[in-house]
Amino acid sequence: MTLVATGMRWGEYERCTRDSLRTGNKITVPAPPGSVNPKKKARTILVDEWLWPWVLQAVPCPIT
């Protein structure tokens, strides 16, 4: 549900921690470690308010 609600890819979801959650229903997705590609940088995702409880339960990723 969280992947669909946010549009994150699996690897982005796995990199998210509790520190990635921001006020205002936002998630800051960290860039991949060691990434030199400018297209692969940290990004912020705005999540609709009614989906935010799902995100809170799912971050951090319980499986890898």
- Extents of the domains making up the chain: 2-58
Give the per-residue SS3 of 14-57: HHCCHHHEECCCEEEECCCCCCCCCCCCCEEEECCHHHHHHHHH
> Model-level pTM?
0.80
pLDDT for position 38: 67
Predicted confidence pLDDT, tens digits, the chain (64 residues)? 889 989 999 999 999 999 999 999 999 998 888 777 767 788 899 999 999 999 999 999 888 7
